[in-house]
Structure 1
Amino acid sequence: MVRYLLAAGFSVLALTSVASAQDAAAGKATFRQCMACHVVDQEQNRVGPHLVGIVGRPVASIEGFNYSDAMRAYSEDGAKVWDDATLATYLADPRGVVQGTRMAFAGVKDEAALANLIAYLSDPAAAE
Structure 2
Amino acid sequence: MRRPGLLLAATFITAAALAGCGKPQSGQATGSEEASEPATAPAAAPVELTDAQKATLVATLPAPYSAGDIANGKKVFMVCKSCHTTVQGGANMTGPNLWGVIGRKSASEAGFNYSDGMKALNITWDAPKIDEWIESPKTMVEGTKMSFVGVKAPKDRADLIAYLKTETSAAPQ
CA distance 1:23–1:98, shift in 2 (3 Å): same
Return 5+ residue gaps in structure 2 as ranges. Answer: 1-54, 56-65, 169-173
List per-residue Cα deviations over 1:40-85 (Å, max 9, x = no partner).
124210000000111111111011110000100112xxxx111001
Aligned to 2:84: 38
TM-score by length of 2: 0.56
CA distance 1:62–1:26, shift in 2 (3 Å): same
1:98 aligns with 2:141: yes
Aligned to 2:73: 27
> Which amino acid counterpart does residue 115 of structure 2 have in structure 1?
S
Give 1 or 2: higher helix fraction: 1
1:55 aligns with 2:69: no
Contact 2:73/2:159, CA 8 A, preserved across alignment: yes
Q: Within 2, Cα distance between the matches of 1:25 and 1:52? A: 19
Contact 2:105/2:124, CA 8 A, preserved across alignment: yes
Q: Within 1, Cα distance between the matches of 2:114 and 2:139? A: 17
**Once superposed, what is the RMSD of the aligned Cα atoms?**
2.2
Return 5+ residue gaps in structure 1 as ranges. Answer: 1-16
Q: CA deviation at 1:39?
A: 1.0
Aligned to 1:112: 155
CA distance 1:101–1:22, shift in 2 (3 Å): closer
Contact 1:24/1:124, CA 8 A, preserved across alignment: no
Contact 2:68/2:162, CA 8 A, preserved across alignment: no
List per-residue Cα deviations over 1:2-51 (Å, max 9, x = no partner).
xxxxxxxxxxxxxxx5xx79711111110001111101124210000000
Identity %: 44
Aligned to 1:6: none
Contact 1:39/1:52, CA 8 A, preserved across alignment: yes
Contact 2:84/2:92, CA 8 A, preserved across alignment: yes
Structure 1's consecutive aligned runs of 4 or more residues displaced over 3 angstroms after TM superposition are none
